[in-house]
Amino acid sequence: MKVLIIGQGGREHALVWKAAQSNLVEEVFVAPGNDGMNEFATRVAISENDNEALVAFAKEQNIDLTIVGPEVPLLNGIVNEFEREGLKIFGPRKEAALIEGSKNFAKELMIKYKIPTAEYQTFTDVDEAKSYIEQKGAPIVIKADGLAAGKGVTVAETLDVALDSVTDMLENAKFGDASSSVVIEEFLAGEEFSLMAFVKGENVYPMVIAQDHKRAYDNDEGPNTGGMGAYSPVPQISDEVVNTAVETILKPAAKALVSEGRSFTGILYAGLILTNDGPKVIEFNARFGDPETQVVLPRLKSDLVSSLLSILNEEPVELEWSEEAVLGVVLASKGYPNDYEKGLPIGQLSEKHEKAVIFHAGTKKVEDQFVGNGGRVLVVSGYGETISDAQEQAYALVEKISAPALFYRKDIGNKAIKHGVS
């Protein structure tokens, strides 16, 4: 079989790495990929957003299965185009991917189908939004309605921060069209976790859960990012809570999309929070999480490609997961998630480590050396019997490969370890 992965980040490196392990797969292609993926895949110089060229390549190479990593191609209709040409692809059509593409659409769907989530209102007028914020008080959450690369959410602890954020989004168009409309919702307190599932119509196959670290700096300080690290399992969240989330959130969401004529095929990712009233939805995404994928896929013992084919064919699937813990640390360019410099050397990456793996997110090879080529540059995932062991393995390798141009959080996984449940 020939498999094509669409995308270029750490998540896609993990998909390439996992697909290459499949007994069914003879060759893996990645478009456009990055220089760190060359060990496992043939890179193709086609943009992840060039539907026409990707379809032409898949036909020319007789690609048997395409897996889409990022959200933008999904919302650009890559799946619709592939399916129109009779090509097998794993991902949601544009109309189903709207569950990520519009926070307002997702909220309306949840309210209509009684899926637990925070109270909210949507605004396009800045004065009305400010009036609502003043009426509700802080803490409060402001979200750009559209895609903002994981950076379109402000958790405002004070009224001033909330009012500034809404001005930035609605008046100053901080995220362009994505913030021409904002969702303002109640702040939910509790333990957050990420629950991803393979979905085909009403068939839902949950993965093991992970916990992401969104803030840029230690102790959950600094601006929101696309994610600075993750770990799996999440010992603070019981199996009972996960089962409740599957039954009250993931399955009803999949069913709701079918009912709305937007049947979902692909990865449905629920960003959840465990409140005193049970798990509630913070957000839905229509694809693999990043960096959650880099800690969840290493725990998948089943053949990824075989599982995806069975799901697409609506055949029964048994997913087998390792009991091992995996913890991933993101190394990012200094300045991320704001301005940062590209092209700076990022150290010696030929280090081999029995209990850790390096996933390349934003790297480029110049002569014999890797340089930074994005905000998030690398993810180092360590393995161990416990979160504590996995943390030790990950940071041992991080310390060997870090460079002055990079920074990373030093507390990934500490919360689980402090709970004494690692």
pTM score, whole prediction: 0.95
- 290 three-state secondary structure: coil
Residues 6+ apart with CB under 8 A from 382: 326, 327, 328, 329, 355, 356, 389, 390, 391, 392, 393, 394, 395, 396, 397
* DSSP class per residue in 63-95: -SEEEE-SHHHHHTTHHHHHHHTT--EES--HH
Q: Which of 140, 150, 147 is nearest to 118 (CA)?
A: 140
- 155 three-state secondary structure: strand
DSSP 199: E
pLDDT digits over 229-254, tens only? 999 999 999 999 999 999 999 999 99
Asked if residue 206 has a cis previous peptide bond (ω within 30° of 0), the answer is no
pLDDT digits over 122-178, tens only? 999 999 999 999 999 999 999 999 998 777 899 999 999 999 999 999 999 999 998
Rounded to an integer, what distance in angstroms lies between the CA atom of residue 196 and that of residue 269?
4
- Identify any residues that bridge with 406 across adjacent strands, giving them in sequence order: 333
Domains of the chain with bracketed CATH: 2-93 (3.40.50.20), 119-186 (3.30.1490.20), 191-312 (3.30.470.20), 325-418 (3.90.600.10)
- Predicted confidence pLDDT, tens digits, the chain (422 residues): 999 999 999 999 999 999 999 999 999 999 999 999 999 999 999 999 999 999 999 999 999 999 999 999 999 999 999 999 999 999 999 999 999 999 999 999 999 999 999 999 999 999 999 999 999 999 999 999 999 877 789 999 999 999 999 999 999 999 999 889 999 999 999 999 999 999 999 999 999 999 999 999 999 999 889 899 999 999 999 999 999 999 999 999 999 999 999 999 999 999 999 999 999 999 999 999 999 999 999 999 999 999 999 999 999 999 999 999 999 999 999 999 999 999 999 877 877 788 999 999 999 999 889 999 999 999 999 999 999 999 999 999 999 988 999 999 999 999 999 876 54
Q: What pLDDT was estimated at residue 78?
A: 99
Give the count of beta carbons closer than 10 Å to the beta carbon of residue 11.
Answer: 26
* DSSP class per residue in 350-387: ----TTEEEEESSEEEETTEEEE-SSEEEEEEEEESSH
Percent of the chain, pLDDT > 90? 91
Mean pLDDT of the chain: 95
In 267-374, alpha helices (H)? 293-296, 304-312
Q: Which of 230, 168, 245 is nearest to 380 (CA)?
A: 230
Q: Which of 304, 361, 295 is nearest to 35 (CA)?
A: 361
Residues 6+ apart with CB under 8 A from 116: 110, 248, 249, 277, 278, 279, 280, 281
Structural tokens at position 387: 């979160």
Residue type, 45: A
Percent of the chain, pLDDT > 70? 99
